[in-house]
Amino acid sequence: MHKIVLFYKYLDIQDPENEMKEQRKICQSLNLKGRLIIASEGLNGTFEGEPENISKYCQYLRAKKGYEDIHLKFSEGTGKSFPKLSIKVRKEIVSAHLGSKDLNPTQITGKYITAQQLHEWIHSDKEFYIVDMRNDYEHSVGHFAGSILPAFSNFRDLDKILPQIEHLKDKTVVTVCTGGVRCEKASGFLVNNDFRDVYQLFGGIVTYMEQFPNQDFKGKLYVFDQRVTMGFNTEDPKHEMIGKCKKCGSLSEGFVNCTFNECHKHFICCNNCRDGENIAYCDDECRELDLRKIESMNFALSLNNTYIDLYNALTKS
């Protein structure tokens, strides 16, 4: 039995390198796997381990000054969700790359709305709009019913999606993302761009799904580990699959990367549309380009073998 903990915290970290060394030491002692990003603006992590060791890590974390109120999200693990432990120092705990438009969520961000409050809003006559701040491939396997799904290919596109939602500047907006960390900056970014009534879902979608499984959020939640997707009570008849195979359109929640390495697009593909266990192309163009590349490599290899045979024949004669 294993448990996964997901967390983040925006706070001033004076010495990220020292924080990294301290975190690595405690994680290694508890045999945890997963990843942690540390920056001067805070930290963002996900760890998997035996329940007792995850509990000990959480006690350690909350005992640190400034971390007392950190919000921890838990889910069941497989013991194989992460291949190793990775703890790194970066410039940002989530790469927004806003440059001169960057902001500090401890100073400006959207108002928090709890899962319970959002649930009440959804089941009322209140006018508001849920804006999903995740990538498009995350939307494809699960999202809130009726939510706005901007064309994100990466969170760095935050600045580019403003024209898609600027009609909501005078409306009530609720931003959502996996665990909440992206919404800290995304909601603040909207506030800085004259959106008048901005909220963010506290604890993220995973918290909502845990409290209200198979309600309002349809499908599964995309996660950045080897589980790929997760849900709560997915065997319940109320669970609704919404992911669709990019090739044939049938319902599916299985992701692959385009076999053509120069593309490597991440997309949903059912088992029937895979040439092998994980061999699939996102479109015919990628298939054709990859086949040409393989033919070219085979031709070069054949030509090289011919030269070798000719050289061996000449040297023997």
Q: What CA–CA distance (Å, rounded) separates 287 from 241?
A: 28
The DSSP code for 113 is E
User: Whose structure tokens read 């939510």?
Assistant: 147
For the question of residue 177 being annotated catalytic, the response is yes
User: Whose structure tokens read 């500090």?
Assistant: 104
Strands across the sheet containing 129-132: 111-113, 197-201, 172-176, 129-132
Task: Quickly count: other Cβ atoms within 10 Å of residue 32's Cβ.
Answer: 23
The catalytic residue among 27, 58, 177, 269 is 177
CA 181 to chain centroid: 11
Separation in Å, CA 129 to CA 154, 174, 212, 276: 21, 6, 19, 41
Strand ranges inside the chain, DSSP E? 2-10, 33-39, 42-49, 72-77, 85-89, 111-113, 129-132, 142-144, 172-176, 197-201, 217-219, 221-222, 229-230, 255-257, 266-268
Residues with a catalytic annotation lie at 177
